Chain A
């Protein structure tokens, strides 16, 4: 299991690198999808299956919407994948950075060991920690729920205001 989790973690970071190396949105969304899928796998590996489902559904759902939107707005005639020069240079630079930083971090992590700890509460309840956390959120964590709902509402209006159509918005197809 340790190896599987390590593989998931590696693929997660690599998926993010695929996005960060700045390809066209068509291809960038593939990296994001990969990151969300293996991120879900990572979460299952450390024991929170419910969070993994939430992450995968919401993240890939949101990503697909963003994908459709960005393709509609910025349709390149010559989309750049990871083979084209600028993207490839970015990818190589980020990969070498990842090796340096990652080796430092894995040295730090090696004291604890990835995959040794899970989110299970050791036998004190019938359900897993992530389910329990959701129940707590709706029970005495209601103030957090209210604040989170308020954040989402504000974010909705902010996005609508920033991407307003016609001549008033700041985001335009050129």
Chain B
């Protein structure tokens, strides 16, 4: 792709999210989501092999269907109440439709099938954009609406996608696919807590984006593709593998690291609101995700490959990592010690 077109698409990608976030009228929110989807398409099919084109088609179909459903919901709302404001979505039918449309956009459980498929067809960096930046616009809409949305629907969709994300990632060998399922599970946490404590949902989203960014920066800089390629990466850059393992444990939510912070706060909030069963279910379903994170960790540095390696151990570390990586690594491992500061940001 020509660099100027790439930059045009990236500008469109970033402005569209801002248009959606700052809009007060359904038409603008919809237009922002459409620009977002459109500018993503050539980025996904940047490599012109058939799988990338297939991934582009899948992305286009789901996102276009979700956008159509969103505009349909807002039209029904305008028909019944003569209001186009986002915050005035009161009738129950459009509200349900809107929730399902946003769910489809985010890749939550019953509509999650596109995300792992798209993840395999694209490059690592595009997958990074899909799992982080693309979540912002739809989440901004439901955070604006969190008071009037159906609580039961959001909560059950959230719990369902936690479980589905955990189970789906269980037997995967492709690292990008594992990351896609982990994204589904994490989005489940974000949506589950949204009706009860929207500030915690924002906190979870921010920390998830941070962890995901770190993980993808590692994947990009070591060019990881599948589980077995971790064996050869061990020889090339051992410290990187240890740090990746720690980041994965942090994503799984183990205590001394950042990933524990949002899960801790959310479980505490659920227990304060007398929803102990839901807290139990949520923490149990995270164990499923933790299992496949642990498999990655095991392959990353806890085991030696069963065959002799073709590459010798490097006597010095590779220096081709991304410039953001050290800072992001520190943030995604050590934020728990400044918990009060992090909470006060939200």
Contact = CB atoms under 8 A, between A and B. Distances in A.
Given A157-B8, A158-B9, A162-B45, A147 B56 contact: no
Nearest to B4: A157
Interface in A107-157: 144, 147-148, 150-151, 154-155, 157
Main secondary structure on B side of the interface with A: helix
Contacts of A154: 8-9, 12, 35, 38-39
A168 B320 CA distance: 29
Interface residues of A, number: 15
B27 interface: yes
A118 to B, nearest CB: 14
Contacts of A167: 48
A169 B35 contact: no
Contacts of B48: 167-170
B31 A147 contact: yes
A158 B39 contact: yes
A162 B42 contact: yes
A165 to B, nearest CB: 12
A157 B5 CA distance: 8
Contacts of B9: 154, 157-158, 161
B117 interface: no
Interface string B2-27: 00010011001001000100000001
A151 B35 contact: yes
Contacts of A151: 31, 34-35, 38
Contacts of A162: 41-42, 45, 56
B260 interface: no
Interface residues of B, number: 21
Contacts of A168: 48
B73 to A, nearest CB: 15
A122 to B, nearest CB: 14
Given A147-B31, A154-B12, A158-B39, A170 B53 contact: yes
A155 B12 CA distance: 10
B28 interface: yes
Contact of A158 (B15, B28, B38, B52): B38
- Best-surrounded residue of A144, A155, A158, A162 (most CB of chain B within 10 A): A158
A147 B19 contact: yes
A23 to B, nearest CB: 20
A144 B15 CA distance: 14
A144 B27 contact: yes
Nearest to B47: A170
Contacts of A144: 27-28
B35 to A, nearest CB: 6
Contact of A155 (B15, B27, B38, B52): B38
A23 B48 CA distance: 28
A157 B9 CA distance: 8
Nearest to B52: A170
Nearest to A108: B93
Contacts of A147: 19, 28, 31
B1 interface: yes
Contacts of B1: 161
Contacts of B34: 151
A144 to B, nearest CB: 7
A161 B12 contact: no
A146 to B, nearest CB: 11
Interface of B: 1, 5, 8-9, 12, 15, 19, 27-28, 31, 34-35, 38-39, 41-42, 45, 48, 52-53, 56
5 contacts: A150-B12, A157-B8, A157-B42, A161-B1, A170-B48
Given A150-B12, A154-B8, A162-B56, 16 more contacts: A144-B27, A150-B35, A154-B9, A154-B12, A155-B38, A157-B5, A158-B38, A158-B39, A158-B41, A158-B42, A161-B1, A161-B5, A162-B45, A167-B48, A170-B45, A170-B53
Interface of A: 144, 147-148, 150-151, 154-155, 157-158, 161-162, 167-170
Nearest 9 interchain pairs by C-beta: A161-B42, A170-B53, A154-B12, A158-B38, A170-B45, A151-B35, A147-B31, A158-B42, A154-B38
